[in-house]
Structure 1
Amino acid sequence: MSYHVPRGGLPPQSALTTDRARFTEAYAVVPARTLSDITASALPHWERTRLWVLARPLSGFAETFSQYVVEVAPGGGSDRPDDATEAEAVLFVVDGALALTLDGTDHALEVGSYAFLPPGTSWTLRNASDATATFHWIRKAYARVDGIDVPEAFVTRDQDVAPLPMPDTDGAWCTTRFVDPTDVRHDMHVNIVTFEPGGSIPFPETHVMEHGLYVLEGKAVYLLNEDWVEVEAGDFMWLRAFCPQACYAGGPGRFRYLLYKDVHRHAGLVL
């Protein structure tokens, strides 16, 4: 598996300012080159680590989740990664190797590793290697439901989960699903969507789920509300609920993205 990995730095002074960056009421596009040194952040209780915040709960922007791209230098990491006890998380490794301790059990994470961490999980993450490691960290406040158990933690790999073709697409459009889509214990899905060259979403999807899409590989044109936007590896898209979306992957290689969406809960009401 090969995934885009941001490397920071700064564009040269000779670079054009014109870009594909967009921020609208319905969607946002954060191009790959936005993840530069001057937009990197740090977190409390993390050593030798920097991150880029792609999405965060904010009026007029993401409502249900935050998403980071985290870069951990050799010897870095955290024994106290998140003080938000009701936060659930997905970690997805795109470069290097990391050591995850999850409720006392050690897991060696590599490129393609995927870990789901339910709320209340005790975990640490360290880079014991001699090379930088990079992972996506998606966080959401878990929506508890009376009579529904919290899902258990697990660790798997992209390489070990067979992509499922969407109906009537002959494999041109597939989704790698890391949890059972009918399991209502989960209130978010973080999947990988793959389009072969020529594959498409052939209609404007319009639905209640909020989306975060990080392009792992390839390029495509994506419909966001009323605009067709060309996107490539390293770009991030945020789509608010009901924002129409469609896609055409023209090639030359396959197009893959990491997809977040909120699922399986009642719509919040003002009572």
Structure 2
Amino acid sequence: MTNSYATPPGGLPPQKPFDASRAVFNEAYVFFPRRVMTDIVTSNLPYWSDTRAWIIARPLSGFAETFAQYIMEVAPGGGSTRPEPDPDGQGVLFVVSGTVSLTIEGRLFELMAGGYAYLPPSCDWALSNDGNTTATFHWVRKSYERVEGIDAPEAFVVANEADIAPTQMPDTDGRWATTRFVDPDDLRHDMHVNIVTFEPGGLIPFPETHIMEHGLYVLEGQADYLLNQDWLHVEAGDFMWLRAFCPQACTAKGTGRFRYLLYKDVNRHPRLR
């Protein structure tokens, strides 16, 4: 089955009244509907040329504090040779349109839509768009939490998510599965960025409530999603940002698959001060 990936619409809304009620920011979660990701909310970044970013999550005191998530749009000829400003910053890139040239420690990779890369702290990497069309990718950043006696992970690239067999959740008849790019038992990693897939009618049948913070960008399809006490209808291009312990559940809707890119922090003690 061919995978499809939503991208921000950009542009500007027409000069007529519209319903803004779908956007939500409260003490438990943030919900960004796709259409709020317009030209007027993009950012330019130091040392990135011909590039704009939708910054859809950032550490925020009293809310979710572990990660930042960007949607990067790089025009032909654009990119950066100094992309990561924080020496402790690790990252995941997931390409959703176009092609990027990614150099890691001097080794060149061409990543098309569906390509994935993990970049450890202090990694020497650069990215450019050498093609003729705009390239778009997600960039998830987290400050790496070092542990004595455990080495930091190494960089790796997956040419396409289809190269990894999804892991089916038990007792779901294959209707709920997760594409895992990192072994959950690998304690070197303190974050996971996975893809979760629900076949039509698939569901999370209970309110998940846990310590992990989440960023969930809907790549494809639609669902009814429980966030705290609210059921929201979500669809391709929408983004959900959950603080720790926010209850969540979902039911896939429509005739197609429901898929999202999922961030969560893992494998570390909570900080006590």
SS at match of 1:249: strand
Preserved CA contact (<8 Å) 2:9 2:34: no
Equivalent residues of 2:57, 2:69 under 8 A apart: yes
Match of 2:132 in 1: 130
Match of 1:199 among 202, 210, 217: 202
- The answer to whether the aligner puts 1:185 opposite 2:219 as a matched pair is no
| Structure 2 runs not aligned, ≥5 long | none
Q: 1:145 aligns with which of 144, 147, 155?
A: 147
With the length of structure 1 as denominator, give the TM-score of the two structures.
0.98
Aligned to 2:246: 243
Alignment of structure 1 residues 156-235 onto 2, 5 Å: 156=158, 157-235=160-238
- Asked whether the equivalents of residues 78 and 129 of structure 2 are also in contact (C-alpha less than 8 Å), the reply is yes
Q: What TM-score results when the alignment is normalised by the length of structure 2?
A: 0.97
Q: Distance in 1 between matches of 2:5 and 2:21?
A: 22
Deviations 1:102-149 (A, max 9, x none): 001000111100000000100000000000000000000000000001
Cα distance in 2, alignment partners of residues 180 and 205 from structure 1: 21
Code of the residue aligned with 2:19 in structure 1: it is T
**Contact 1:196–1:251 (CA<8 Å) still a contact in 2?**
no
Residue 18 (structure 1) shift: 2.8
Alpha-carbon distance in 1 for matches of 2:49, 2:252: 39
Partner of residue 253, structure 1: 256
Q: Which residue of 1 aligns with 2:87?
A: 85
Separation in 1, partners of 2:227, 2:196: 17
Paired letter, 1:207: H
Q: Which residue of 2 aligns with 1:268?
A: 271
Q: Deviations over 1:197-238 (max 9, x none)?
A: 100000000011011100000010100000001101111001
Q: How many pairs does the alignment contain?
A: 270
- Please tell me the residue identity of whatever aligns with 1:25: E
Shift of 1:15: 4.4
Aligned to 1:100: 102
Among the aligned pairs, what percent are the same residue? 66
Two-structure CA RMSD over aligned residues (Å):
0.8
Structure 1 runs (4+) greater than 6 angstroms displaced: none
1:52 paired residue number: 54
Q: Report the secondary structure of 1:258's partner residue.
A: strand
Structure-1 residue corresponding to 2:73: 71
Q: Distance in 1 between matches of 2:54 and 2:173?
A: 37
Asked whether the 8 Å contact 1:10–1:36 carries over to 2, the reply is yes
- Residue 228 of structure 1 aligns to a residue whose secondary structure is strand
